[in-house]
Amino acid sequence: YADILKRAGDTSDANDAGGLIALLNSGALTQAAAATAYVHSAEALAVQVDGLYLKLLGRPSDAPGRAGFVSFLRGGGSLEQVIVLMVTSPEYAALTGSDAGFVQSLYKNLLGRAGADSEVAGYLAVLPSQGRAGVAAAFARSTEFRTNAVQQFYSATSAPTSVAALLPSLLHRAGETTTAEINGYVFSGLSLLDIETAFVSSPEFFVNG
């Protein structure tokens, strides 16, 4: 609850944490099933959407937009797709201005750093053929972005300006996480929500989460 829903669970309420605990204790619900249910719950997804509004658009979510994105995610959409939709919106375009400003904003908001002149120039060269959606999608599936996200799941390490910092720190590791562990998720082909589900369903999360 604290990590994913950003609130305390009520263990005395059968419609809240109490119900989940009872199902787990009875064996009617597996840890993996519980993880999937909570990561993909409307409440958890709304937390993610609210964070993206603030991080990318600089404002709180509006009710229709929030509901629309939550519905999209519950229908099988990915956080990566929501990010692309937000950064290719007219509202985001008004915030970033020129194509160079748009590309530089992706470095800041998705990777948590400034893009070098040569890096920005490289994306500007392909922007006419790929469009802003194509460039944004390339950032969202890049090894650097996914590495930052996976490291955040292990222990909060992402730059505060990056959307990866919105992801929950699930394992709270104090020590080093190996490159092999990180790359196992980075190159898994799983979406961020599916990676999060894998973390939440792991034995380590139930011990240290």
pLDDT digits (tens, 9 = 90+) for 133-191: 999 999 999 999 999 999 999 987 888 999 999 999 999 887 788 999 999 999 999 99
State which amino acid sits at residue 131. Answer: G
pLDDT digits (tens, 9 = 90+) for 34-43: 778 888 899 9
Q: What is the pLDDT of residue 176?
A: 82
Measured distance CA(42)–CA(166) in Å, rounded: 17
List the domain boundaries for the chain.
144-208
- Is residue 121's pLDDT more than 90? yes
Phi/psi of residue 162, nearest 5 degrees: -85, 145
Cα Dmax for the chain: 58
- Is residue 105's pLDDT more than 80? yes
Q: What is the DSSP letter of 62?
A: P
Q: How confident is the model at residue 199 (pLDDT cuts 50, 70, 90)?
A: very high
Q: What is the pLDDT of residue 22?
A: 73
- Is residue 209's pLDDT more than 60? no
Q: What is the pLDDT of residue 37?
A: 82
Chain centroid offset of residue 83 CA: 9
pLDDT digits (tens, 9 = 90+) for 9-18: 666 766 666 6
pTM for the whole structure: 0.88
Q: What is the pLDDT of residue 207?
A: 76
Whose tokens are 């999937």? That residue is 36
- Is residue 8's pLDDT more than 90? no
Measured distance CA(93)–CA(85) in Å, rounded: 11
Average pLDDT over residues 66-80: 97
State which amino acid sits at residue 201. Answer: S
